[in-house]
Copies of this chain bind each other. A is one copy, B any other.
C-alpha cells in the first residue's frame, strides 16, 4: 500500500469525527513555530498545541533563511507576535556537506546543484544561535517580538532553551 492510500483511508476516518470547521485562520496563541521536517518530531504533540493554536513552519534543519517569507506573512497578515525556532539532536543536517549532496545529485539525477546552499551544519549550538541571528538580521520580520531558539532532544522528547 502506498503512503497516499494509507493517508486517504486514515483521513476518511479523521473527517468522520471532525469538529473544527469554524476555527479562524489567526493562530490562537499568536505564535509561529519553525522546526525541522524530521519524521521523529510531531510539534503539536511534543509542544501541547491544539489545532488553531500556532503556525508551524518546517523545512530541512528548521533553517530561518528559508522561513522568512512565511514568518513575514504570519506576522503581517495573521497577527503572530512570538517566534520559536526549534532544532533537534541527531539531525540529518549534521550528516552531510554541500559537496556530498551536490555529488549525489550529479550522480543520481545528472543535476547541477552547485548554485544551491543546502544549509547543513556541524555544531548544533552554533546553528541554533546562527538561526536566531539570521532572524534578527532580516528587515522583513518584526523585531519587537520575542524570538527563542530551542533544541529538541529526540532521545528524550525534551525541549531545551538555548536562546
Contact = CB atoms under 8 A, between A and B. Distances in A.
A55 to B, nearest CB: 5
A33 to B, nearest CB: 8
A148 B90 CA distance: 30
B112 A21 contact: no
A133 B21 CA distance: 30
Contacts of A7: 47-49, 84, 159
A107 to B, nearest CB: 10
Interface residues of A, number: 89
A43 to B, nearest CB: 9
A29 B74 CA distance: 30
A37 B70 contact: yes
17 contacts: A3-B30, A4-B146, A6-B29, A8-B159, A8-B161, A20-B40, A23-B39, A23-B154, A27-B39, A37-B74, A42-B51, A59-B69, A59-B70, A72-B101, A72-B113, A73-B118, A76-B101
